[in-house]
Amino acid sequence: MEKKPFVTKEQLEEIVKEYPTPFHLYDEKGIRENAKAMKEAFSWNKGFKEYFAVKATPNPYLIDILREYGCGCDCSSYTELMLSEAIGCTGEDIMFSSNDTPKEDFQYANELGAIINLDDITHIAFLEEAIGAIPKKISCRYNPGGVFEVCNGIMDNPGDAKYGMTEEQLFEAFRILKEKGAEEFGIHAFLASNTVTNQYYPMLAKNLFELAVRLEKETGAHVSFINLSGGVGIPYTPDQEPNDIRAIGQGVRETYEEILVPAGMGEVAIYTELGRFMMGPYGCLVTKAIHEKHTHKEYIGVDACAVNLMRPAMYGAYHHITVMGKENQPCDHKYDVTGSLCENNDKFAVDRMLPEIEKGDLLVIHDTGAHGFSMGYNYNGKLKSAEILLKEDGSTKLIRRAETPKDYFATFDSTDFYKKLKL
């Protein structure tokens, strides 16, 4: 698959006249088309809801676009709950899936009427103490342990993950919660990350549907929803084929009709909590080449760094790079594309074959729409970049300004030191 930017060189040249690089740019048209496809793929399920993973792209302007297509918010912290409430997302439009959770977070989620998803059996007593009762509708997170395989290939290792309850704990948790007044139950599981296969969701669904049938039979608890969580990924590399969400939805439907419908559970709602799939391909990091270095290797220094996109530094993750205006030139130069942090892993690409890059060239780093800006930080005193929305009509909207030194020093505002700063 050829990876093409959703923005042209001419458009970028106009945008950088107003907003200096680096910045994250988002594609409204792509976001809308994808959200519509997601909704259609699961329209067969009456209660379906996508709870967008706020942690992936915590920008209210972008989440508001998804809200137009019926999406809720999957929150994991107090401030994510705050963001959701501020855009009018409350009640059962919020799924609160957290771990190692402070009581204040549980209390706030309960005040908003969010569906609370418990990560551990010990959290039942903790939640009850925090809010004074067990909600009528509640969910539990399941971790089967071991490895998760799709088509005889290992996709991930749930047994090494800190999340969720064992099967034995899950059954016991349902019994305890039912005794304490819970009336509607949900099951949640996240067993593999960033899968690029149409088989992941249907296979996960099969496991959870069979589990749900046994849970209802053995505990008497009414399972009203099953949350397939995230894990449906995107093709970061050009050789990967993207997931077909409609084929995925159909695969889940076939499994649903095979397992749940004959068990008399044909009213169970399907929930998802996708972040990367909903936003990842529809964001990019735009940066400019500002230095070149010729030592033991050939380096191109850009004005972005790992604080703008830490996935390559943290995971060794691949993000495709387009040198704007040189898409048709031969990739006959081998570069490390680097940022300015005092860390040797601050590299967006290592030994990457690219067209010849000259100072001043604009580079688009693909697939940063999820876990891009949101994972940013301020190491070396670096400031977070702006976020800009490329609207369907070709105009732009600033949806988050770039940080300034005043923002960086703001938490010193009650100290004598702050008074000495020349802000």
Q: Which sequence positions are flagged as catalytic? A: 342
Largest CA-CA distance found in the chain, in angstroms, rounded: 72
User: Exposed (0-12), middle (13-18) or buried (19+): which is 406, by Cβ within 10 Å?
Assistant: exposed
Which run of H or E residues covers position 138? strand 137-141
Q: Which of 274, 202, 281 is closest to 240 using CA atoms?
A: 281
CA distance 250 to 45: 11
What's the DSSP call for residue 184? E
CA distance 68 to 71: 7
Q: Which of 347, 322, 375, 382 is closest to 6 using CA atoms?
A: 322
Whether residue 60 contacts residue 83, with contact meaning beta carbons closer than 8 Å, is answered with yes
Q: Which amino acid is at 375?
A: M
Residues 6+ apart with CB under 8 A from 380: 305, 307, 340, 341, 342
Q: Alpha helices of 27-102 — where are they, by DSSP H?
A: 28-41, 60-67, 78-86
Q: Which amino acid is at 262?
A: P
